[in-house]
Structures are given as C-alpha cells and as structure tokens.
Chain A
Amino acid sequence: MSVRTVLKRALALAAGLASALALMPAAQAVPSFARQTGMACEACHTIFPELTSFGRLFKLNGYVIDNLPQVKAVGSDNKESLLLNWLPPISMQFIGSFTKTKGALPDSGTAGGVAQNGSASFPEQASLFYAGRIAPKLGGFVQITYSSQSGKMAWDNTDIRYADQATVLGNSLIYGFTLNNNPTVQDVWNSTPAWTVPFDQRSSLAPVNISTQIESLSGAVAGVSAYTYWRNMVYGEVGVYRSAPSGVSNSSTGGNGPLDSSQGVNVLKNGAPYWRFAIEKQWDRTSLSVGTFGMLTDYHPAGLNAASGPTDRFRDVAFDTQFQYAGDDHLFSLQASYIKENFTLSATAPDDPIDGAGDLKTRRIGVSYYYQRRYGASLGYFSTTGSVNTHRYPGGIAVLGSASNTPDTSAATMELDFIPWQNVKLGLQYTKYYKVRGGTDNYDGAGRNASDNNTLYLFAWFAY
C-alpha cells in the first residue's frame, strides 16, 4: 500500500468517525416549548422525542403557539412592531451515562494495549436550547451541545422556520420555509434519520455501523426548504443544502474555513437537492404515515481540491413509515425505514471498474410500548448491506476496518425506560451485533469479533 493510499484511507475513516459521532447527539423534548405554550410535554410528545399529531402540527406551524404574556410595541400606524415572549424560551438538557462494550476497545496510545472498559460520562452531553417563538409566524429550535467525547461545545440541531396557514378550496393548508443544518431535522415523523425512534441512540458504543450520506450530514451543511401540508394529510417539501465553499478563512484562527476540504471534511459541490413527500391518515387515537425522502450529493472529497475537479456522487432514496397509537394509558408505535444509496466515486476511485461505483442500503425497524407514559420497553433491529469496496471499507484497521471490504452490519437493540417525571428519563439499553463490517469472527482482520461490540448503555436524561 502506498503512503498516499494509507493517508487517504485514514482520512476517510476519520471523516466517517467524525460523522458517526456527529450523528449521535439527538435532541429531545424541550421544556421551553412547554413553558411557552403552557402545556405539558405530553401534548407534543408521546415520549420524547417522538411527536404526537399535535406536536407535528406545532412544529409545522413554526413553533409559534404562545400563551405567555407579551412585551409589545405598537408603531405610529397602530400596527404591532414587537411581540416578545415575557420569558426567553431557553432550556437545558443533561445526559449522564455509563457504557460498556463486551470487548474492550484498543488503546490508541499503546500498540497491543486495551483501554479500560466501561466508561462513565458525566455529562455525556449537556445542551442549551433556544426553542420557541421569535416573532409572529417565525419560530426556532436551536441547540448548542457540549459533548464529553469531543470535549467541545458545538452547534447542534437547528431549525428556524416561517409558517402560515391558509384555507384553500375549503381546506386547511399550512405552508412555510425552514432554514436548518441537518437533512430531516425539520421532519415531523420519527421514521426519518435525524429524530429516529425508538432508542436513545447517543450511546457511545463503537460507531461500527456505516451510514448513508443523508444520515451523516448533521451540522456539516446548511439548507433551506419550502413545505406545505394540506388537510393535515398530504405533505410535500423540496429544498437545497450547501456546505461552505473552501478558501474562506477563519478570522479568529487565521486558518482555513471549517468546511474546507483541507480540514479533512467533504465539501459539497454546489447545492444538494433534498425532497420529502408523505401522507398521514388519522383515526381517533391512531395515525399512520407513509413517505419517501431523498437527496443527491456531489462531493469534493476531503483532501482534494474543493473547488474543481471530479466529484464523488451519492444518490439516496428512502421510504419510511410510522404507526402510532397514543391512548391515555397505552402508547404504542412502530417506525421503519429503508434507505438506498447509489454512489459513483469519480474523485476517490476514478476509472476503477470495481471500486468506482456501488450501493449501500440500510433498513431499520423499531417498536415501542409505554404504560401510562411511565414504564416503557422498545425493541429494534437494523441491517446495513452494500457492495464490496476497498476504498470505503478498507481492512487492517482495528475495530473500524473490514477484512472483507464490505459494510454489512446488523444488530438488535432493546431498551427499558422509567420516566418518573415527563422531563426525566432513566434507561437501560443493550445492543447485540450479529455482523459487523461483513463478518462475525475477526471481521476487522485485527482479531475483533462482531459480538465484541455488544454494548450495555445506562443513561439518565433530564431537561428543564
């Protein structure tokens, strides 16, 4: 292997790892919404972060329902020129956890050594939110998160939207625009990647699963989209995402911009189109949605010139469904999704008949049941499969390598939850891997078995 290929692979892995870590932080219910609306969390969430039908409409209407006293100003034309919440809609979220994998992870500092297994993080994550109405018809959900894994504060999920409602041909029509930093963070059904349930998926388990692009762009892009929801039934949305162009320098460090490919990140060429369509039907306490979403991304890969030259292209097409029953005592839901990605690596593997193109597919299904919103159990399964590719899934790397150069990974997860208060959740989660990166025994070529990644995760979540 030449030095260049090794370097390229290491970079690709680092980027993969970074995106896997970036994917983990998932925000939850936000008490500032409860303060602003004067309603309990149960109005919007079955169990956070899963949205109820009202929660979905609250979000689509721009987070603006506001039942707080207002600070007002009126202009000389007698029109309101200011309508501010009496309290700023600020919330805090805190997660502490304990994680243990079956096989200890290798110690990166000592060749052949292993790190202590069983890590306690306190906090694993702490987030600050601004979540609520900004002005009439304009609202936002902005999250800033400190993660102990990165040791840094970082901009997390953000969705700022303008929305209004109209009556068209006797039926209600919601329409709006969202500005956000993660494809699907704006979505209202919990079967899309950003807010997938069941499970608290932030567990710091070895990030051995390989994700499609649409699942991995959290925080690395900015996008705007326009959406409509007709008769609380038919949803349509189209938008475009972009990353910052290279060559923009960071004035505080004097270095390159944060999204410069020389910084080890992929840079999107132009805009990446995103689309989403869904239909929801409601019968009394039950709702069913079926939808499709997707994205087309063209990258200048990390380490290559971000302004010109060939690109790696990924086309993601996904289908998802959610079934939800939200009774007074019993809550049940099912979420499932299938994402198919086709890629052509004209930049990373030009003119390579074997590794130059391929596909990656992920399937997820999960069910959860809660009794009186207090005791819950969830069960889920995911499976990732795809074509053999030596560039994307190199061997010879402990834990994250694939001796067979394939992404095939599957695992089942179960979780038990206790929710003493609507804003406090304690959970015990176990993930069992059947296959990791194409193998069960010695899948990485460095002696690790798939089951060594089995993870026990204990967490305490609260928000106020």
Chain B
Amino acid sequence: MKQMLRRSALFVGLVALASSLGLAAEDSETAHYANQVCSTCHGVHGNSPSSAFPRLAGQTAPYLETQLRAFKDRSRGDPAAQAYMWGMASQLDEDKIKALAKYYAALPPAHGTAGPAARVAAGRALYEQGLPEEGVPACVACHGPNAEGNELYPRLAGQHAPYLVKQLAYFKALQRSNQPIMQLVGQKLSFEQMEAVAAYAASR
C-alpha cells in the first residue's frame, strides 16, 4: 500500500517534470491555444486524422482568415459550420484570427493520399479542364496547378477527400452560400464528378 502511494507520488512528480520541460519547449501563446483548443478536432499540428475535420496545416492564411470571420459572422452556415465552428469562432477577435491563420499557414501541409487510379484520372481531367460545355471553369485557374491554393483560393491538396465532397455538396445545396463562384461549380457537378475531383485534389 505504502509502496503504491510512493509510486503514485513518483508518477505525479514525473508528470510535473514533463510538463515543465514541455512548457519550456512551447513556442508561443498562439501555438499553445491552437494545441489546446483547435487541435482537439483539427489534429496535432493541423493534420486531423478524421475526415470530419478539415486539415488546416499549410492552408493559405488569407483563406483561413476569411473562413474564421465567416464562421463568426455566420455567413458560412452549412450544417457542420453551425454545429461546430459558429461557437468556436464566436469569441475570436481580429488579432487572434490573424495569429491563428498565420500559425496554421506556416505548418507543413499533409502529403497527398492516393485514391483509386481511374477516379483520380477522371478527377484530374475535370480539375485541369473544367466542363467547358457546362460552363464550369477549370479548378486549376484558381486553386493552382498542384491544388496548393493561392491567397483567397484555398489549398485543396492533401485535404480529406470526403471533406471536399461534402463542401461541394454544401455549395450545390446553397448551404454554404457565401461564395457565388463555388455555388456555380457545385450546381453543375454530379456526385460522381465531385468524388473524382476530390480524389484527385486529395492525392496531390
């Protein structure tokens, strides 16, 4: 019994030691906040293991900022945004939004995950050429040759494919309704085309 107590005391001591070492290694207040709050869903260093939560690592800073503002002012109002991010963003002030966007944009993005070859090939064609006869512009024009994103155009490379499909479906259903270009894209794509282009982007 005494021995057990002594062992518990030792364990507590070790925990305290580990934590003081860790705190010394902690780089900034923003990183600490991101680790303690955002990472519980978006994963350690912005690389969430679950497709329920988008990866944020390496996303463009201007896009991250606009999204956090859109959650805060509730203009991005799809169901998942309402259930999760409206609350999370409601108390973020402009300084914190900028700091978090900068923090995540600077983290190394996830590597692409290979998808089924035929689907990825079909997705690539759609990504690079769009659907001219339907009036769907080529994704590459805005999202970049490697789907790496640019300023307000988000990075799609390495993102969870099911998350990308879900967003396209939200655009189509006008649930994510603050972005006219993407609504047009969403309207014109079938579910299969969404899956194909998402598989391609996720594989980059």
Chain B residues within 8 Å of A326, by CB: 52
Enumerate A220-248 residues with CB–CB distance to B below 8 Å.
226, 228, 231-232, 236, 238-240
Within the complex, the shortest CB–CB distance from A65 to chain B, in Å, comes to 6
Cβ contact within 8 Å between B15 and A38: no
Cα separation A296 to B15 with both chains bound (whole Å): 23
Within the complex, the shortest CB–CB distance from B12 to chain A, in Å, comes to 4
Contact status of A67 and B88, CB under 8 A, knowing A61-B40, A282-B49? yes
B1 at the interface (CB under 8 A from A): yes
Closest A-chain residue to B20, C-beta based? Answer: A166
Cβ contact within 8 Å between B40 and A58: yes
Within the complex, the shortest CB–CB distance from A250 to chain B, in Å, comes to 28
Cβ contact within 8 Å between A38 and B39: no
Cβ contact within 8 Å between A38 and B18: no
Within the complex, the shortest CB–CB distance from A254 to chain B, in Å, comes to 33
Cα separation A61 to B39 with both chains bound (whole Å): 11
Closest B-chain residue to A165, C-beta based? Answer: B36
Enumerate B40-79 residues with CB–CB distance to A below 8 Å.
40-41, 44, 49-52
Question: Which one of A2-10, A18-26, A167-175, A449-457 contacts B?
Answer: A167-175
Chain B residues within 8 Å of A421, by CB: none
Contact status of A37 and B51, CB under 8 A, knowing A165-B36, A296-B4? no
Enumerate A395-454 residues with CB–CB distance to B below 8 Å.
none
Question: Which one of B21-29, B95-103, B104-112, B149-157 contacts A?
Answer: B21-29
Q: Point out the residue from B7, B51, B87 that lies within 8 Å of A67, measured CB to CB.
A: B87
Contact status of A38 and B35, CB under 8 A, knowing A175-B15, A228-B18, A284-B49? no
For B, the interface residue count at a CB cutoff of 8 angstroms equals 39
B90 at the interface (CB under 8 A from A): yes
Question: Which one of A39-47, A115-123, A211-219, A337-345 contacts B?
Answer: A39-47
B127 at the interface (CB under 8 A from A): no
Q: Point out the residue from A39, A61, A284 that lies within 8 Å of B87, measured CB to CB.
A: A39
Within the complex, the shortest CB–CB distance from B107 to chain A, in Å, comes to 12
Chain A residues within 8 Å of B50, by CB: 53, 282, 284-285
Chain A residues within 8 Å of B49, by CB: 282-284
Instruction: Convert B6-38 into 0s and 1s, putting 1 for each residue whose CB lies closer than 8 angstroms to a CB of A.
Output: 011001100100110111011000011001110
Chain A residues within 8 Å of B31, by CB: 167
A113 at the interface (CB under 8 A from B): no
Within the complex, the shortest CB–CB distance from B168 to chain A, in Å, comes to 15
Cα separation A376 to B51 with both chains bound (whole Å): 23
Chain A residues within 8 Å of B87, by CB: 37-39, 67
Chain A residues within 8 Å of B5, by CB: 240, 271, 273
Within the complex, the shortest CB–CB distance from B198 to chain A, in Å, comes to 14
Most chain A CB within a 10 A radius of its CB, from B19, B26, B36: B36
Closest A-chain residue to B41, C-beta based? Answer: A54
Within the complex, the shortest CB–CB distance from B15 to chain A, in Å, comes to 5
Cβ contact within 8 Å between A39 and B88: yes
Cβ contact within 8 Å between A38 and B88: yes
Q: Point out the residue from B11, B23, B51 that lies within 8 Å of A285, measured CB to CB.
A: B51
Chain A residues within 8 Å of B32, by CB: 165
Within the complex, the shortest CB–CB distance from A252 to chain B, in Å, comes to 33
Enumerate A142-185 residues with CB–CB distance to B below 8 Å.
164-168, 171-173, 175, 177
B83 at the interface (CB under 8 A from A): yes
Cα separation A70 to B91 with both chains bound (whole Å): 9
Contact status of A226 and B36, CB under 8 A, knowing A67-B88, A175-B19? no
B200 at the interface (CB under 8 A from A): no
B84 at the interface (CB under 8 A from A): yes
Cβ contact within 8 Å between B1 and A273: yes
Cα separation A326 to B162 with both chains bound (whole Å): 14
Instruction: Convert B174-202 into 0s and 1s, putting 1 for each residue whose CB lies closer than 8 angstroms to a CB of A.
Output: 00000000000000000000000000000
B86 at the interface (CB under 8 A from A): yes
Cβ contact within 8 Å between A54 and B15: no
Cβ contact within 8 Å between A226 and B15: yes
Cβ contact within 8 Å between A38 and B86: yes
Chain A residues within 8 Å of B25, by CB: 166-168
Enumerate A177-213 residues with CB–CB distance to B below 8 Å.
177
Closest A-chain residue to B87, C-beta based? Answer: A38
Closest B-chain residue to A227, C-beta based? Answer: B15
Within the complex, the shortest CB–CB distance from A207 to chain B, in Å, comes to 31
Contact status of A38 and B90, CB under 8 A, knowing A226-B11, A239-B8? yes
* 8 A–B contacts from the bound complex (CB under 8 Å): A37-B88, A39-B87, A54-B41, A66-B91, A67-B87, A173-B22, A228-B15, A282-B49
> 19 extra interchain contacts, Cβ-Cβ under 8 A, other than A40-B84, A171-B44, A273-B8?
A40-B82, A61-B40, A66-B91, A67-B88, A67-B90, A165-B35, A166-B21, A167-B25, A172-B44, A173-B22, A226-B8, A226-B15, A231-B44, A232-B44, A238-B7, A238-B8, A240-B4, A271-B4, A282-B49
What is A's interface to B at a CB cutoff of 8 Å? 37-40, 42-43, 53-54, 57-58, 61, 65-70, 164-168, 171-173, 175, 177, 226, 228, 231-232, 236, 238-240, 270-271, 273, 282-285, 296, 298, 326, 328
Identify the 4 closest CB pairs spanning chains A and B, nearest first.
A38-B87, A166-B22, A57-B40, A40-B83
